[in-house]
Structure 1
């Protein structure tokens, strides 16, 4: 239930962000795109792994460029809260053949928290298909969330890429402010 979601509780719901900014690699350096995002976070029933207890939100975010209908980015996963150790775990899967599991500690009432993952980590790592691993190798991921006033939250995301034809790593950055446009339903056991 929402009361057990710790710092994730304010994020449950349907959100829209219209001020998204994406700085990504391009042939001649860096390209900047604006984007519009719809982010749906729904509570799930508690999960157990033996003595480990997790509460969470299943999410789907869909991103388009302003005025367009074609998908610019699509992503699914879970935000999980483990109260016993005050740990947030974030999973991400995209239809380009990549997934990751990131984590970070936070207090139950935190309004800012961070999760991170590193390529090669056996627990909080990044896995890509062979093409992405060769051409745009993701070596690190960092996501900072800030719960704002008045039914808003924002994020700043940095994905460190090793692009095949570049000597230096590239910092791919995304950021957006999301405003609540709807409520999520209760988790199945609470319905």
Structure 2
């Protein structure tokens, strides 16, 4: 049996993400304001992950990706998307720390943190409001009506060259008397294009 020889994994556990992806099995569980109900919505999604130059903060060295993910509800693929996010995924080799810096078009900015080794097949991120390192910023309306209390996300790299993610956003909803609910999303995306020049 031949030994599986792999490249240097310059991007560490983020290496498998490089390229362009599509997934049609998305499921969004959320509160629907118009109907005052909580329900599931299916969606189609596109994602692009591209390497960025090495980032250096003094003695800290970070490798990473810039990314863009956009989703359309099933049946609305020719219309405006219902979700759009842009951000960075960063990995610090010295500590195994992984960061997801993301901005959502709803007026939300998040820095999630995780720990992962270079060839790990899953990365579990977490952020909570008020955390000085891995926190959540949200606009004033959300603080009053749909306060974000916690945000966890897991990326899983599958054997068939796909990757899956699941996210759980804990919200305190004024419309439901201040009760907490879990706004969840999950999807599996398949690579449709690889970007040359990435080390694997």
Bin for the TM-score computed over the shorter chain? over 0.9
Give the whole-Å Cα distance in 2 for the aligned partners of 1:63 and 1:149. 24
Q: Return 5+ residue gaps in structure 2 as ranges.
A: 1-6
| Equivalent position to 2:46, from 38, 44, 53 | 38
SS of equivalent to 2:82: strand
Q: Which has the larger radius of gyration?
A: 2
Alignment of 1:18-29 (within 5 A): 18-27=24-33, 28-29=36-37
| Equivalent position to 1:4, from 5, 10, 22 | 10
1:139-179 deviation digits (Å, cap 9, x = unpaired): 10000111001210000100000111333211000000000
Deviation at 1:185, TM superposition (A): 4.3
SS of equivalent to 1:104: strand
Counterpart residue number, 1:134:
144
Q: Superposition RMSD on alpha carbons, in Å?
A: 1.6
User: Alpha carbons of 1:141 and 1:8: their partners in 2 closer, same or farther (altered >3 Å)?
Assistant: same
Counterpart residue number, 2:121:
111
The answer to whether 1:54 aligns with 2:65 is: no
SS of equivalent to 2:175: coil
| Equivalent position to 1:175, from 169, 175, 186 | 186
2:173/2:180 contact within 8 Å kept:
yes
Q: What is the aligned length?
A: 188
Counterpart residue number, 1:157:
167
2:9/2:118 contact within 8 Å kept:
no
TM-score (normalizing by structure 1)? 0.93
Counterpart residue number, 2:4:
none
Q: Return 5+ residue gaps in structure 1 as ranges.
A: none
1:34-75 deviation digits (Å, cap 9, x = unpaired): 000000000001100000000001000011112312111000
Counterpart residue number, 1:65:
73
